[in-house]
């Protein structure tokens, strides 16, 4: 996989305590984990996603998410069921292959996202992670209790102390 600063940032952030479970909880609420990570990465590098640009990057990856990433994830998850009449070891091996394919699909999505925001200006000394996450959460119409998960991301990414109200 081609290395990119966004990918390196994402791997580091995702490995932080609590981040994986926060991302997965937000994913269950309809968030795209890569977009959550993008909000943090951009914010930490002094770049702000306004509502127009946020909608644009969401649209840029929507069909990839719907037609590639989500189906891979669903098939991988379905293989956990024991009711399939194939060997458990065979299912485990296939799940591992699908997990690798899903990770590659996520990486390609990140490269696409990074290309969509490459022209955003940087403001030295500014961190817009809280604003970016709050904007994404508002666009998704996330439930109020999702704020705790966004806060985990923000804290782990080294953003401001709290999300704007």
pLDDT tens readout for residues 130-145: 999 999 999 999 887 7
**Cβ contacts of 38 within 8 Å, gap of 6 or more:** 6, 49, 57, 110, 113, 114, 117, 132
What is the pLDDT at residue 162?
44
Domain positions in the chain: 5-156
pLDDT > 50? residue 164:
no
**Cβ contacts of 124 within 8 Å, gap of 6 or more:** 46
pLDDT for 30-84, tens place per residue? Answer: 999 999 999 999 999 999 999 999 999 999 999 999 999 999 999 998 988 777 7
| 132-161 burial: b if 16+ Cβ within 10 Å, else e | bbbbbbeebebeeebbebbbbbbbbbebee
pLDDT band, residue 159 (cuts 50/70/90): low
pLDDT for 93-123, tens place per residue? Answer: 999 999 999 999 999 999 999 999 999 999 9
What is the pLDDT at residue 137?
93
């Amino acid at each position: 996989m081609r290395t990119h600063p966004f990918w390196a940032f994402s791997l580091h952030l995702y490995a932080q305590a609590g981040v994986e479970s926060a991302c997965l909880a937000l994913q269950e609420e309809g968030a795209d984990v890569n977009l959550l990570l993008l909000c943090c990465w951009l914010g930490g590098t002094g770049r702000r996603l306004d509502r127009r640009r946020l909608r644009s990057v969401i649209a840029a990856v929507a069909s990839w998410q719907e037609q590639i990433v989500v189906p891979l994830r669903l098939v991988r998850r379905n293989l956990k069921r024991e009711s399939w009449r194939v060997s458990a070891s065979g299912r485990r091996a296939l799940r591992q292959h699908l997990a690798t394919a899903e990770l590659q699909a996520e990486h390609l999505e990140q490269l696409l996202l990074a290309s969509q925001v490459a022209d955003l200006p940087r403001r030295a000394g500014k961190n817009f992670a809280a604003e970016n996450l709050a904007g994404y959460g508002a666009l998704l119409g996330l439930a109020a209790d999702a704020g705790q998960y966004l806060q985990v991301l923000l804290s782990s990414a080294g953003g401001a102390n709290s999300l704007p109200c």
